[in-house]
Each structure stands twice: as C-alpha cells, then as structure tokens.
Structure 1
Amino acid sequence: MSDLAKADWSDSERVRSIATSYQQRYGEGFWEELTKLVTPIEINTVCDFGCGPGLFLQDAVQKLGATKVIGMDASTEMLAYAKNIALADLTNVQVDIIEIDFDIKRISLPSDSISFGFSGYMMHEVKKPLDFASQVYGTIKTAGGYAVFDFISGDREEFIRIMSDGHMSAEKARKRYPHMCKHSINDLEDILDAVGFSPITSIKLDPIRAIVFGIKKG
C-alpha cells in the first residue's frame, strides 16, 4: 500500500472524516444494488477486508442480517474507532477486530469460514490484488460470496469533478486519479475470475464507482 494512504489512515482527523463521509460513500444506491447482488447467498458471518472505521459492518448487521462480523485493517486508529464506536453497541453479534497489513502478512482466517466477504475502496490499495483476492477466496465458504466496491478507471475528468464536489480538492483528485482508479470493471472481474469466483456480476453505480460480486462454487 502507498505511504500516502497509510498516512491518511493513521491520522485521527482523517479517521473522523472517513467516518463522517460514510453515508455519502455508501448511500442508498449502493445498498440497493448490493442487496440485490447478494440475494443468492446465505449471510451469517461477514468479513470486511479493509474495514476502516467499521461502519459497513454495522450496516451488514442491520441490512444483511449478519450474526458475526470481522473487521480487518492496517490502521490501529481505524480499528479503535470500529471497536469503540461503530460496533460497540451491537447486541447478539460476535465482533472480531484484526489488525493486518495485507501487503506484509497473509490472511490467517480459517478456510471456508466466511459467508460474505467485502472490500470497499480497498482493491486499488493492495500491491498484489490477485494474491490478495486469492487469499480472500480461501476464506469464503462454498456458495458464499465476495464483493469488491471500488473506484474504476475510464473518466478522469468525471472523477475530478465528483471528488472535488466532496472532500477532496480538484488538484489532489487529479494527482490521486492514477492510484485510486487503476482498475477498470473488467480488471476487477478478471481478478475475481482468476482466483475461482463464478459467476461474477458487476454493477456500475456511477461514472467512477462499481461493485463486482463473485460466488464461490462447490
């Protein structure tokens, strides 16, 4: 992962900013499409690979019916927010928080233990996305699924416009585009296909973001 990204994750103001902007980044349109995509799978244990402040996992309990949630992230500060704020008040739900840098350590979850895996705005950060996805695949149960939600390449000017309407300056958005939008939808589909997920379904939410979902066949 880039040093710039890690610096963002370890900054307390950045953590609060990401938590505050969660509803903007994971709005009703996202949840409407994700809920449709995961209809074929039975969801109980959810792991967010790159969970940040943990708010997706909070929603996974409320919207997807998860009974166990696992948050994995490289940032101590992000995980502290997840544990002490976002996930602190969940009842009748098992919560596991794991600090891990996916570029340095291997995912150590048991094989076939996760019914639904998720990575939001994460795939562009890992140095070896194919290896990362392969590790995730090993943790997913047969007939379970994995969804990647990320920025996509193809429209730099629209990326700059949308991001500058939010929390990022146009200048920074222009500089960050090659890093944040390094994959196309086809790239993400190819990654999931290469490690064994099938079938794979994709939804383009807007000009700069997409969800790619794959199921682990028996």
Structure 2
Amino acid sequence: MGISVEEWGRLQKALDWPGPDQEITQLNLSTSPVHSTFSIVGLKKSYKVGENISILITARDHNNNLKTYGGDFYKAKLFNSKLKASVYGEVVDHRNGTYAVTLLLPWEVAKIRQSVAALLRRAPETTIIIKSGNTGGQKNIFQSDWYTLQLNTVMREMFRDIDGVIYFDVWQMTSCHYITENVHPEPVIIGFLADNAVLLHYAQGPL
C-alpha cells in the first residue's frame, strides 16, 4: 500500500534536519557544556502544583560563540531532593542553537510516591495497583480529557521505577474502545480491570 505525494512530502519535511552552517573540523567548534547556558522564561516568585516551568537553553561552542544550528541532545530533569522524586521535561529543538524545555510541577503526586515507597519498605511483598484516569468525553472548564491525560503522564512517570507498583492504564482501554466515553467506565471496562487483576493473582500470588 503506497502513500500519497502530499503525505510523502510531509514525511520528508518532518525528517529534514539542517546541517551546520560551517564544516566542523575542530573540537572547539562543537557544543560546549561549560559555555552553554539556560534561563527560566518568565520566572515567578512562586509556582503551584500542576503549573509548568519554561526554560530556554542557549548552546555555545568551546570558543563561547553562539551556535546557529540545532541537533544537540539535551535531557531535562527536575529533581526534588526532599521527596526523592523527579520528572523529565519535554525538549524542543528550535534548530537555531536554542532549545525550549517544559517541565511540569507534580510534587503533590511525589508525596504519594513517598508514601508508597515507605509502605513497600515496611512490607516488600505488598503489590500496589494504581488505576489511571479514563477518558470521559469531558470538554468544559472544570474537567477535560486533556487534563486527565497530563495527570496520567505524571502518575506513570512517578511510579514507573518502583518495584511492587502496577499501573493500570485505563486511559488506553477507554480511548480505543467502541463504547461511548463516560466519566464512570462501563461494565465492560470494569470487566477488563477485573480480568487483569485475576491474571496478576495467578502470576504473582494472592494480592
């Protein structure tokens, strides 16, 4: 099965990557971690849980000259030493030597992680099952599927590296199912959850 000319053009555009504006023949022309800088965009005195922090990374070479093309690999991580929790941010390459980073502040969830970790230290044979939010067809100022998706993303990140925690992705179940979306999942979705719990029971022993 082929693709249309228009779709092929979009794919080529998406894969296009501008090369350096000059030939890189010396190490000092590459990106320097010492001279490259970052700054918080629109810094505020305080932030609330659920807000985003925007950061701008400016790449420079070893001669302290601004880079004029992209392609560097950056990984942004926000860490809370008190809660021993972290979250990764999204990095966007502007292809001109600057990179935008967006970090979500999920520390209320981090407190839950801290409590879960404490429980598992006391009772390491415990299995904790966390149910994600589900699609509900909500599109108003009080509740929306988009907001629920953001919370699910944070929850998954917070608990992905803890042994003993199982994350039930109900969002995936309801978003791809043929039934009408509902804030309260239909019996067929509840049945899927129950079936998974039974499988876990046999795979890991009594829950």
TM-score bracket for the superposition, by shorter chain length: under 0.3
By percentage of residues, which structure has more helix?
Answer: 1
Relative contact order (alpha carbons < 8 A, sep ≥ 6): 1 or 2 greater? 1
TM-score by length of 1: 0.26
Which has the higher Rg, Structure 1 or Structure 2? 2
TM-score by length of 2: 0.27
By percentage of residues, which structure has more strand?
Answer: 1
